[in-house]
Amino acid sequence: MTENLTNKIVAWAAETGSYAAKLPSRDARETYLAQRREELVVGAVAEGASEGDAETLAETCVDAARAIMTELLEQRARELRGRA
């Protein structure tokens, strides 16, 4: 993986994970991540990637976004517990 692609994945994951963490429910977050994953697959294939490579890229991106989202949700929960 090139450094440029790695940087794009990190930026996409940060943006996507941050947005997902703001959604009101687990279902809404999972739906959003699934939609973004599908957009990535379609976009990567349109750019010339094989279906398999596109799937792998999308999974990598969504896994990273989910990790960021989870950390943000945990951080928010810690902050709320601290105020109680």
Q: Which residue has the higher pLDDT, 79 or 32?
A: 32
The structure tokens 């990598």 sit at 60
Residue numbers of the domain that contains 9: 3-83
Indicate whether 18 pLDDT > 70.
yes
Confidence grade of residue 34 (pLDDT, cut at 50, 70, 90): very high
Query: Which residues, other chains included, contact 61 with Cβ-Cβ below 8 Å and sequence gap of 6+?
Result: 9, 12, 13, 16, 36, 37, 40
Task: Please check whether residue 17 is in contact with residue 63, taking contact to mean a CB–CB distance below 8 angstroms.
Answer: no
As for how many domains the chain has, the answer is 1
